[in-house]
Structures are given as C-alpha cells and as structure tokens.
Amino acid sequence: MKKRRFGTGKWNGIGGKLKRGEIIAEALVRETKEEINVVISGDDLVQVATLNFSFKDNPDWDQQVHAFIIEKWKGEPKETEEMSPRWYPIKKLPFEDMWIDDIHWLPLVLEGKKINASFNFDKTGDKILNMKVEEI
C-alpha cells in the first residue's frame, strides 16, 4: 500500500525515479530497500512489461514504467514510511484498490507473458480514455 506521494492509498509495485547516473536495475535495488526493507540483486530482475502512461491535460504525470518480476530476495518485506507491503493470492489481487490499468496487464505478466502497453487517462487517472496492450 502506497502511503505517500504519487499513488497514495493504492496497492502498487515498488518503484520510483532514477537518480542522476543510475540505471533502472540500480534504482530498483535502491527503491526495494527503501520501500520494503528487502535486499535484491539487479541480476535477478526479469523485465515483464513496458508501460506508457499519459494523462489528458496533466502532462506532469506522464511516465514510462518498466515492470519487473523477481523471485529471490533477502529479508522479509516490512512497512516503511513509503509503503505497507502485504501478500495476496494471485487470484485474489485487490484490483479495486489498485490503478485502474492494472487489471488489463498485470494478470498477463503473472501468466508468464511479456507485454508492451499504453494507457491514456483522464486528468486525474480515474478513467482510461484509450489503451493498447500487446504481447511481445
């Protein structure tokens, strides 16, 4: 559960912005430690999706997201100032409390597919105006 900043109040994956000079794997290792106090290796990351998000009349929220799955880590996820982690069975994911696009792509990657997707939202992100999800 995201506790502050962008996405507050939504179940969301770990992530964040790159720091100057950082590559995606380095950022994800850092963010995972900061957000749920778990140690991962960038070598264990498997990219499963590239997601492009745009928001009508709100370009400051536009972003490209690279989604990864990891199956090995050290430590148990713990609550931090940023997030409160919780395990869910795959068939019982709380999509009603997640970003509205998640139901369109997350089940596909959990089935083992890799995807590219784009979503265009209204200004607040509460409605999908159009989308494209394709398996690669």
CATH number, domain with residue 46: 3.90.79.10
Mean of the per-residue pLDDT values for the chain? 95
Query: How high is the pLDDT of residue 6?
Result: 82
Give how many domains the chain has, as a whole number: 1
Question: What are the angstrom distances between the C-alpha of 6 and each of 61, 93, 100, 115?
Answer: 9, 21, 14, 24
Q: What percent of the chain has pLDDT over 90?
A: 94
Residue 33 within any structural domain of the chain: yes
Domain limits at 90? 24-135
Mean pLDDT across 69-94: 96
Whether 119 is covered by a domain: the verdict is yes
Q: Does residue 9 belong to any structural domain of this protein?
A: no
Residue 7: band (very low, low, confident or very high) from pLDDT cuts 50, 70, 90: confident
Decide if 57 is inside a domain. Answer: yes
Q: How far is CA 10 from CA 20, 25, 43, in A?
A: 27, 24, 28
Residue 11 lies in a domain: no
- The answer to whether position 2 is within a domain reads no
Per-residue pLDDT reduced to its tens digit, 8-37: 999 999 998 999 999 999 999 999 999 999
Q: Considering the entire predicted model, what is its pTM?
A: 0.91
Tell me: pLDDT of 131 over 90. Answer: yes
